[in-house]
Amino acid sequence: ACIQEYNRWGAPSVKVWAVITMEHRTDLVLVHGNITARRYIDEILTPHVLPFMEAHPDIRGFFSNKTTLDPRFFGRQ
């Protein structure tokens, strides 16, 4: 059998994630495949956002819906 890869949008794509502020930024995180809420917590929030927030307590994190990230959600005070 012969398999031919096909991209319906006509070009390769990549998903990335990062925190960018006026003074700080994180490294880009490559997101492979579809991301679930569990993967988002395990692969982005816990290893990247929480250490960033702990290193920069003066920065308040906001999501696109204007809610804030509460570290207590992850068992941290």
**What would the pLDDT profile of 12-25 be if each residue is shown by its tens digit?**
677 888 888 788 88
Q: Does some domain include residue 66?
A: yes
Q: Does some domain include residue 54?
A: yes
pLDDT digits (tens, 9 = 90+) for 35-73: 888 998 899 989 998 898 888 877 765 555 555 655 555
Q: Does some domain include residue 51?
A: yes
- Answer whether 0.75 is exceeded by the pTM: no
Residue 76's Cβ-side half-sphere holds a number of Cα atoms within 13 Å equal to 11
* DSSP assigned state of 67: -
Q: Does some domain include residue 62?
A: yes
**Is residue 54 helix, strand or coil?**
helix
| Residue numbers of the domain that contains 63 | 15-74
Q: Does some domain include residue 41?
A: yes
The residue with greater pLDDT, 74 or 44, is 44
Residue 42's Cβ-side half-sphere holds a number of Cα atoms within 13 Å equal to 5
